[in-house]
Structure 1
């Protein structure tokens, strides 16, 4: 007798039969890694195929792998990870796709397949700088329109580039270069005389 996870794995492998992919199972979940060239067709088939029927995109996020697990990453730097849900089959699937170019990460947009991708892709663009080809309104969603850079990239400075303050003379909010000096906090340790004796 096959389990639900094994049935899902068989269905996904049937869809991916002639494509390049990687499928792993960990902690009771499947992760499918697809090539960026097959991304749209795979996602469309995962939604439309009667054996999978992933009718909901419940999350999409960007990832910067430039410094992964305290070591240097050997693959592509930026990825988008989508979480799909099939209500009919009560299945979940994680799909990861890597952007082919680290300098200008560009992936196809899923907004024509699932309308929920709209704001998720805007968030990945705003925070990681991942561009989504075919997205009809790709603009910042969490940071200010004048914000410089993408704050979730691992090479983004912790204190940022500019700070904002109200200028009483100009009677408006102004941006200026960051004036915070980086410092290292060392905790003060207080020990009693006969501690742990």
Structure 2
């Protein structure tokens, strides 16, 4: 007798073949898909009756530059999506990597799931990942004049510019950051009998 997870794994292997690497860990299935196959695989995951992933629950960008304490040797940027099949009560994680670290581009899936629109805009805004084919790819969380992508691991914690209201000019102005960078290391005090009565 096959388990629910084994049935899903078999259906995925049958529908996707060599287009996706399937791994199972901690009771969850993850598909790793090449960027060139990403859109076609996502279309198959939704349209194949044996799979029926009709809902995209989440999509996020990932910066792998310091992953594994700097031992990661793969592409720097990735996109991770979580899909749900209500009919079959299945969930799957789909991961794809942007082939170019300098200009991270992956296909948009807004034509497959309309709900992914804001998720892709968020990944663009915070990580700089470009979703090719997205009809309205613009910033969603940061200001339109914001420089850079704040969730990248190399983005400075203090940022590049700060904004403030200038009463003399009667408007908001941008200026270079004036705070001196510093590293806060918490002081840990351990008492020998702390918490004991």
Specify the TM-score bucket, using the shorter chain as the normaliser: over 0.9
Task: Report which stretch shifted further, 69-78 or 139-148.
Answer: 69-78
Cα displacement (A) at 1:186: 4.3
Are 1:150 and 2:152 matched, yes or no? no
* Mapping 1:145-184, distance limit 5 Å: 145-184=144-183
**CA distance 1:188–1:16, shift in 2 (3 Å):** closer
The verdict on how the C-alpha distance between 1:15 and 1:186 changes in structure 2, with shifts beyond 3 A counting, is closer
Cα RMSD for the two superposed structures? 1.6
For the pair 1:7 / 2:22, whether they are aligned, the reply is: no
How many residues were matched structurally? 194
TM-score calculated relative to the size of structure 1: 0.94
Structure 1 unmatched ranges of 5 or more = none
Look up the match of 2:81. Answer: 82
Change in 2 beyond 3 A, CA 1:8/1:168: same
Corresponding residue number in structure 2 for 1:51: 50
Q: Distance in 2 between matches of 1:91 and 1:112?
A: 22
Q: For 1:42 and 1:188, locate their aligned partners in 2 and report how far apart those are by CA, in whole Å.
A: 50
Contact 2:19-2:41 within 8 A present in 1 as well? no
Structure 2: gaps of 5 or more residues? none
Partner of 1:41: 40
The Cα offsets for residues 103-123 of structure 1, whole Å up to 9 and x where unpaired, read as 000110000000011000000
Shift of 1:23: 1.0
What is the distance in 2 between the residues matched to 1:29 and 1:174?
48
Shift of 1:187: 4.0
Cα 1:2–1:191 change in 2 (3 A) is closer
